[in-house]
Structure formats: C-alpha cells, structure tokens
Amino acid sequence: MSLNIVVMAAGKGTRMKSSLPKVLHKLAGRALLQHVLGSTAALAADARIVITGHGADQVEAAVGGEGLRFVRQEPQLGTGHAIQQTVPALTAGGSTLILSGDTPLISTATTRALVDACGGERLVLLTIEYADPTGYGRIVRDAAGEQVLAIVEHKDASDAQRALRECYTGVMAAPTEALKRWVGQLDNNNAQGEYYLTDIVAMAVAEGVPVVAVKTADETEVLGVNSPSQLAHLERRFQLAQAESLMTAGVRLADPARFDLRGTLHCGKDVEIDVNCVFEGAVTLGDGVRIGANCVIRNATIGANARIHEFTHIDGETAGASVGEGALIGPFARLRPGAKLGAEVHIGNFVEVKNSTLAKGAKANHLAYLGDATVGERVNYGAGSITANYDGANKHRTTIGADVHVGSNCVLVAPVTLGDGATIGGGSTITKDVEPGGLAVARGRQTVISGWSRPKKVK
C-alpha cells in the first residue's frame, strides 16, 4: 500500500519575531523541521512532501535532500489550502500522513501507529486531553462518546464546545483518494477566512468513512513552537528526557537540569558529567570518563578513564577528534579537528592542538600550540612553544620523535623534524632538522652590562 508523508512548513511564525523561518529554529542543535522529518525516516514512504511558503528558499536549502519534494503555498490561506497544493504530488491510493513542521518531537512509534490505523480506509486523528485546552481545536463526539463527528477550531467553537478537553494535535492520517476529494470541497466560511483541514472530518462522517481518534498521553511529542519562550520550554523538556535516559543507563550527571545534548552521546560504565556541559554531533565516552564543568565536546571519542577538566573545548568538526585512555585534558584546553591523542597524554591549560597526533605519554602542559604535527611518545613540549605550520600559502608538518624535550618559548618552523631524544633549548627558533639525541639552541647570546643605570623620568 502506498504512503505519502506531508509536512506543513509554510508558516511565517510571526511570534518568533525573527527573519529566520520558524521551522528552521533549532531544538537540541537541529532545525524543528529536521526533527519532524527524522521521525518518519523509518517509514517506507512513496512520497515525502514538504509544503513551504515563507522563506521557502531558505527552508528548501536547509533540508533539501534525496527523496524530498517541495510544494509551495503562496499565499498561506490555512491548513486546508496547504494540503490542496499537494494534491498533484500525492501518490495515488493508500494513505497520507500529515504532520506539522513546528511540532518537532513527534515519535516514530506514533507516526507508524497512525499509518497503521489508517490502512488506507480510515481518517485517523492524533488527539490529547488538556487541562486547559484554550487555542486548540476541539474533538466533538456523538452522545455515546465513540464516534468523532467534527473538529471545531477554538475561535469558531461555542461555549459548550470550548468546555471539551480532548483536542486535535494537528496530526492526522487519511485515505489518499478521499483526502484529495475532501480538500477540493473546502471553503473559507469561518472566523479566520481560512481553509481549515479540520473540516474534512465532517465530510468523512457524512460519507460514512470511519473517523478514529487515537489519544496520546505524552504531551511533549505534540507540543508546537510558536514563540521563543515555547521553544526554550520544549528544549528543556527534551534535554531533561535525554538526561533521564542517560541516568537510567548509569551515567552520573551532577545536575540533569544543566545538561545539553545536541546530537548523540554513547557512554560506557561509570561516566561522570559535571554541570553546564554541551555535547554536539557524535560523541563517545569510554568507561570511567570524567567530564568537568562547562565543557563543550563535539564529534569526538574519549577513551576509558580519561579526565576532561573544566572549560575544555573539543571540536572534531567533520575530521573528528580523539583522546586516549587515561589522558588528562585541560582546564581551558582546545582540541580542534584531527587532534588524535594517545593514552596518558597530558594537554594542559591554554594549549591548542589541531590536526596533530600525540603518542602515549606526550605532554604539553601550558600555553602552547601544536598544529599539523606528529609527536612521539613521552615528549615534553614546553610552555609558550608553537609549531609554525603555515607559510602564508601552505600548511607544513612538524615531526617530533620520541623522548624529545622542547624548552619553553620555542618556535618550530615547519617542515622540520626533531629526532628521537633531541633537546631544544628554551627560546629557540628551529628552522632545520635536529639529529636524534642532539641539542639545538638558536637564540641570541646573552649580554650583561655592569654598572648600567635605568633612565630616570625628567620631572
């Protein structure tokens, strides 16, 4: 049986007070619309259609990909008008699932349940009961409370109808051929002067098509976003749910209310995470890892028993970054794309590592930069030392052998190789290779002038 998935994403989102289309505002690091599309990724759809309108070019550029088709709604004259625009794009027969692009946390299980309940024969509505249903379309049932007769929008509802607590969530599944027929019959004779998709319920009842209202008990998955306040509220709900899931699996969070996951986080046993940490992209933490407060970790793998001290920033971007077992990183350290640190490596405060490999036991403890470098085992890299890897046009690599000692405030001008066991005197600028075991000193000779007097300020 064929399946169409339609996501309505044409609205301006006036209350967001932003030039960015509402469906592109981010929740947990992803656009609202991306969340909705992700919830249906596992469904075998014949057509995936996104209805765009306000900011259509931006929306289509942000989520465009294989398997998506865009239909524009210009001007925006209501939800029924939106679906009217999709009719030529719908695959014939089967079912059509209709979702809202600003309701990001609908679950895959719920979308699948709606499609299954529809079966190409029934109109299925996702509903929920609210203690305060103000603003929501009400579900009107027959006297027995079984048959759904209609959905009445809040602004068009009578006092008796407004007292009803069962509400329509904006999500439905409908027989495709019937849906095409129904939306073609819609009119805008209502308080808003819009074409309401909800009016098709009465049409289905009139034709004898079964109307099924499936209730969800999870308010979070049907909450929409219409303002910055609502977005922030939903963000906290989502983050707390993720925190609870991690804690159930054994992760120890110092405070689940001060935790942010904007991607995927896989944790081993006995992982500890302090407050105000942000995880983005794909992050893996091995057994016994401890993350200090106020760290940002993106696209990285942290080995078992590593310690990431406070205020460390690790951003692997597309290349990734990795930290070996038992390594000590930070505080105030920065690991950039391509940083690959071996076991028991120490990277201290205000040290930056980019596109560099450090072997087991290497140390750079203070105020240093390692870019485009290969560093051997047990190297000690002095405070204030840098690899000068960029000549203004191209990047060059520095190779530092095992057991090398680099003194403080050195400049290693790439390309250059320091052989195993070499020693570099503090304050040196090294432009030539150093042989294994050699000592290299490249600095001006110190001069001491006896009897010199410091100039005095003229009064």
Query: pLDDT by residue (tens digit) across 16-51?
Result: 999 999 999 999 999 999 999 999 999 999 999 999
The answer to whether 405 is a known catalytic residue is: no
Q: Is 105 exposed, middle or buried (0-12, 13-18, 19+ CB in 10 A)?
A: buried
Q: How many CB atoms neighbour CB 283 within 10 A?
A: 23
Which uninterrupted H or E stretch holds 99? strand 95-100
Smallest CA-to-CA distance from 125 within 165, 168, 94 is with 168
**Predicted local distance difference test score (pLDDT) of residue 167:** 93
Smallest CA-to-CA distance from 34 within 42, 46, 45, 24 is with 24
For residue 131, CA distances in Å to 196, 385, 433 come to 24, 64, 75
pLDDT level of residue 459 (50, 70, 90 thresholds): confident
Which residue among 313, 366, 396, 405 is the active-site one? Answer: 366
Average pLDDT, integer, range 183-205: 91
**Predicted local distance difference test score (pLDDT) of residue 209:** 95
pLDDT level of residue 12 (50, 70, 90 thresholds): confident
**Predicted local distance difference test score (pLDDT) of residue 311:** 98
**Residue 136 reports pLDDT greater than 90:** no
- Compare 148 and 306 and report the one with higher pLDDT: 306
Average pLDDT, integer, range 59-67: 89
**Residue 145 reports pLDDT greater than 90:** no
**Residue 91 reports pLDDT greater than 80:** yes
Instruction: Assess contact for 363 and 389: CB atoms under 8 A.
Output: no
Q: Which domains, and CATH codes, for the chain?
A: 3-222 (3.90.550.10), 228-440 (2.160.10.10)
**Six-digit token pair at 422?**
């070499």
Question: d(Cα 372, Cα 452) in Å, to the nearest integer?
Answer: 45
**Predicted local distance difference test score (pLDDT) of residue 135:** 85
Q: Where are the beta strands (DSSP E) in 367-437?
A: 369-371, 373-375, 380-381, 386-388, 398-400, 405-406, 411-413, 416-418, 423-424, 429-430
**Six-digit token pair at 83?**
């679906």
**Six-digit token pair at 409?**
């405030």
Contacts of 300 (CB under 8 A, 6+ apart): 283, 284, 314, 315, 316, 320, 321, 322, 323, 335
**Residue 146 reports pLDDT greater than 80:** no
